[in-house]
Structure 1
């Protein structure tokens, strides 16, 4: 999402598996946030954006932070990002750093600017969801909030 683009509704021609993956993502999100709330702790999220440096990236981070705050989430002091047109997950040092950061307990979840910022490949997305869930971390994105 850049300064010139607006959030769009999910495509009605989404690849097969999107509904199943979205249900799984929501389940993991709910498990982690409900467990955190049950312990009386605030939910902390780490923002992640896939955008070029500059005003567009800044705007995306502000949108993520505003949405998360409206939901009562705490924003981590660290934010994460990568540059490019949806590079392979193995080429995203920013996303990898966000996953490690959250997995070490600094955040309960990672909030991206959109689903495509994570990956457009369903198998890779399922792997990321499962990998994070095993570490007690949820993944969500701006259009998917609140959970």
Structure 2
């Protein structure tokens, strides 16, 4: 993440991030999106106009159209990174997580989460 953000900053480019939310309900989606927007603003990142979400219980990442779409969107150059609330929004499976990180890294895309609140 730091390398991608630093490169964009050196080139005086805006760092764009695509939000991804895994939520149970519409109000939960809106609340999570608001948290992501505030975090992005604190990091001086801009949120893309397109947002991505999957609703309901978390199926494996390969079965989430919203997550697949946000990965494609960022990999196509529309965003430098993807921001989610926390890792469980992507996957809790270690092998799947490693695959996701490698896939995004190979395409110059970072994956970020909101900082934990103590």
- State the TM-score, normalizing by the size of structure 2: 0.93
Aligned to 2:97: 125
Q: Does 1:63 align with 2:35?
A: yes
Alpha-carbon separation, structure 2, partners of 1:121 and 1:138: 19
Q: Does structure 1 retain, via aligned residues, the 8 Å contact 2:17–2:47?
A: yes
Aligned to 2:61: 89
Q: Does structure 1 retain, via aligned residues, the 8 Å contact 2:24–2:57?
A: no
- SS of corresponding position for 1:120: coil
- Quote the offset at 1:53 in angstroms: 3.5
- Quote the offset at 1:65 in angstroms: 0.4
- State the TM-score, normalizing by the size of structure 1: 0.76
- SS of corresponding position for 1:69: helix
Aligned to 1:49: 21
Q: Which has the larger radius of gyration?
A: 1
Misfit runs of 4+, over 6 Å: none
Q: Does structure 1 retain, via aligned residues, the 8 Å contact 2:25–2:56?
A: no
- SS of corresponding position for 1:143: coil
| Residues matched between the structures, number | 116
Counterpart pick for 1:77 among 35, 44, 49: 49
